[in-house]
């Protein structure tokens, strides 16, 4: 009898102990489940934020789109490509960024606002560029979402007002806070 055959008979009698590979596969499966949950929670926040921010700005037209956080963008919803984990294969368990293309004129000018979200327990921590961090309890409630939207609006307004103030006071170098502006049709 070969060693392999003896081992097979012994394995059939004794309760199976998972191999290291099986333990590793189980750990990877748990990680994958958590990373998908993280992504789906953040995507839900992103889509809600896009829709509610658009309504806040103008109830009569679509003026906010989910776009990639880096690289070229257009004023169209980019679906899963709007998220920093897009195209990474095995979905990483990490904070996720996405872009919001926000209309800033009636003539097709859009500004990309980069948002980063991280989930900790029942809370979502959201930051916009170098702006302050906002906290949302999950599931999302209207009061906290309203405060987040107000904060994002103020963040955008501050960008323009700070630039104007700096220019008017003769010091308008290096006040950029990292926005990309796109003129549609240009």
- pLDDT 10s digits, 112-163: 999 999 999 999 999 998 778 999 999 999 999 999 999 999 999 998 998 8
Give yes or no for residue 10 having a pLDDT over 70: no
Output the CA angle 136-112-164, nearest 5 degrees: 100
Give yes or no for residue 14 having a pLDDT over 60: no
3 state SS for the chain: CCHHHHHHHHHHHCCCCCCHHHHHHHHHHHHHHHHHHHHHHHHHHHHHHHHHHHHHHCCCCCCEEEECCCCCCCCCCCHHHHECCCCCCCCCCCCEEEEEEEECCCCCEEEEEEEEEEEECCEEEEEECCCCEEEEECCCCHHHHHHHHHHHHHHHHHHHHHHHHHHHCCCCCCCCCCCEEEECCC
Give yes or no for residue 186 having a pLDDT over 70: no
Q: Is the pTM of this model over 0.85?
A: no
Q: How far apart are the first and last CA of the chain?
A: 79
Residue-level pLDDT at 144: 95
Cross-strand partners of 137: 123
Interval 82-97: pLDDT, tens: 999 998 878 899 999 9
Least confident range of 3-12, 32-41, 59-68, 169-178: 3-12
Give yes or no for residue 177 having a pLDDT over 90: no
Interval 97-123: pLDDT, tens: 999 999 999 888 999 999 999 999 999
* Cα–Cα distances in angstroms (integers) from residue 7 to residues 10, 14, 15, 19, 93, in the given order: 5, 11, 13, 14, 39
Regarding predicted confidence, which is higher, 2 or 60?
Answer: 60
Distance from C-alpha of 127 to C-alpha of 115, rounded to nearest angstrom: 6
Residue-level pLDDT at 179: 61
């Amino acid at each position: 009898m070969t060693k392999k055959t003896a081992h097979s008979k012994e394995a059939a009698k004794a309760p199976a102990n998972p191999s290291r590979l099986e333990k590793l596969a189980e750990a990877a499966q748990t990680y994958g489940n958590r990373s998908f949950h993280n992504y789906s929670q953040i995507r839900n926040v992103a889509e809600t934020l896009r829709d509610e921010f658009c309504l806040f700005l103008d109830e009569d037209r679509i003026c906010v789109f989910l776009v990639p956080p880096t690289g070229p963008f257009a004023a169209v919803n980019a679906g899963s490509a709007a998220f920093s984990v897009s195209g990474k294969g095995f979905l990483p368990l990490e904070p996720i960024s996405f872009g919001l293309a926000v209309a800033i004129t009636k003539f097709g000018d859009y500004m990309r606002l980069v948002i980063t979200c991280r989930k900790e327990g029942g809370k979502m921590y959201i930051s916009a560029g170098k702006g302050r961090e906002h906290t949302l309890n999950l599931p999302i409630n209207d009061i906290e979402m309203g405060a987040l939207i107000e904060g994002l609006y103020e963040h955008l307004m501050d960008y323009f007002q700070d630039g104007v103030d700096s220019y008017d006071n003769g010091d308008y170098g290096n006040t950029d806070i990292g926005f990309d502006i796109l003129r549609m049709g240009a």
